[in-house]
Amino acid sequence: MGYEFILYDRQPDDIGVITINRPKVLNALNWQTLRELREFFEYLLPKENLKSLIITGAGDRAFVAGADILEMYNMKDREFQEYVDFAHKVYELIESVPSPCIAAINGYALGGGCELALSCDIRVASEKAKLGFPEVKLGIFPGWGGTQRVTRILGLGRTKELVFTGEMIDANEAFRVGLVEKVVPHESVMEEARRIAHTIANRGPIGVRLAKIAINAGSEMDLKKALLLEKTLVSLCFDSEDRIEGMKAFLDKREPTFKGK
Ligand code: COA
């Protein structure tokens, strides 16, 4: 499938970059963009075997300014339900892919755009970025995981303030409350995302992938079950060639060469 609204670039070190490419509408997500994201994450990404993936927005103003309001306005009831259901599937897919995903937030991350960033593992924001959930201004509320993923990060009070007022916060406030992990000068946002991606790409890939499962799945369990999951997964790492290489490299005082085996 050729892509109309996303760009995919495979870079050295097994790092991929996905760019949402609708800059004229601040990269608003329409059905077709969601379909392309699903196609990429479900069918192409597993073949690419990436060590890390960056998601960003085209142009200089926006990561993603939310769902496409014009398209939503023209939807019938049933179609809207299917659209929401589809978006949920895509975001759950992004959250669960083995490669760690980094959101490079290069401007507005609103509504579905903020929810997309929250489906990624790590968020780096430009100091010009603005984040928020303006949906209540449109007579709806954030329904692509927003009320749930944000609550798990910010807690009930801050989430309600953001969701009920629909007001945007700037990157520094987003950092202060834990919605993004880093704020960098505008022109450095991709450079910082790449730096993190490269660092991850040089770690033991099995360890990174299993840690992602332990953290994501464990956060949905009670502590006893989560600790059991952690024990099981870390024991799987111990059976890998990478574990032998990583520990031997330390003892030999050299950098490890991991094979992902
Ligand atoms: N859906 C569809 N089109 C959108 C969009 C969206 N979510 N966000 C921006 N656009 C379009 C605008 O309609 C405009 O198109 P036009 O040039 O044909 O008029 C273009 O992108 C530029 O946006 P504009 O509003 O002119 O830029 P601005 O700098 O004045 O404001 C925002 C920027 C982000 C504050 C404003 O565009 C906005 O509030 N967007 C909607 C955000 C939103 O509600 N998201 C949640 C949707 S569920």
134-189 tens-digit pLDDT: 999 999 999 999 999 999 999 999 999 999 999 999 999 999 999 999 999 999 99
pLDDT at residue 2, rounded to an integer: 83
| 167 lies in the same domain as 101 | yes
**Domain limits for position 41:** 6-201
Residue 108 lies in a domain: yes
| 140 lies in the same domain as 222 | no
| 42 lies in the same domain as 83 | yes
pLDDT at residue 144, rounded to an integer: 97
Would you place residue 1 in the very low, low, confident or very high pLDDT band (cuts 50, 70, 90)? low
CB 203 within 8 A of CB 249: no
From the candidates 135, 167, 181, 220, give the one annotated as an active-site residue: 135
The three-state secondary structure class of 150 is helix
Q: Whose CA is nearest to atom 21 of ligand 1?
A: 25
What is the tens place of the pLDDT at every residue in 194-231?
Answer: 999 999 999 999 999 999 999 999 999 999 999 999 99
**Residue 22, both tokens:** 């609708």
| 151 lies in the same domain as 114 | yes
What is the tens place of the pLDDT at every residue in 46-101?
Answer: 999 899 999 999 999 999 999 999 999 999 889 999 999 999 999 999 999 999 99
| 94 lies in the same domain as 134 | yes
pLDDT score of 247 more than 70: yes
Percent of residues in the chain assigned helix, strand, coil, to nearest 5: 55, 15, 25
Residue 261 lies in a domain: no
Residue 257 lies in a domain: no
**Residue 34, both tokens:** 């969601």
User: CB neighbours of 204 closer than 8 A, spacing ≥ 6?
Assistant: 237, 240, 242, 243, 245, 246, 256, 258
Examine the fold and report which residue of 166, 185, 201 is the final residue of a domain before the chain moves on: 201
CA distance linking residue 33 with residue 27, whole number of Å: 9
Ligand 1 atom, smallest distance to 108 CA: 34
Strand partners for 86: none
pLDDT at residue 256, rounded to an integer: 97
62 CA from centroid of ligand 1 (Å): 10
Residue 1 lies in a domain: no
How many structural domains does the chain have? Answer: 2
As a whole number, mean pLDDT of residues 114-138 equals 98
157 CA from centroid of ligand 1 (Å): 27
| 182 lies in the same domain as 226 | no
Q: Whose CA is nearest to atom 41 of ligand 1?
A: 65
pLDDT at residue 24, rounded to an integer: 98
| 118 lies in the same domain as 247 | no
Query: Where do the DSSP E strands lie in the chain?
Result: 6-11, 15-20, 52-57, 62-64, 101-105, 108-110, 122-126, 130-132, 169-170, 182-184
Residue 18 lies in a domain: yes
Which residue from 21, 24, 25 has its CB within 8 A of the most atoms of ligand 1, so it is best to mutate?
25
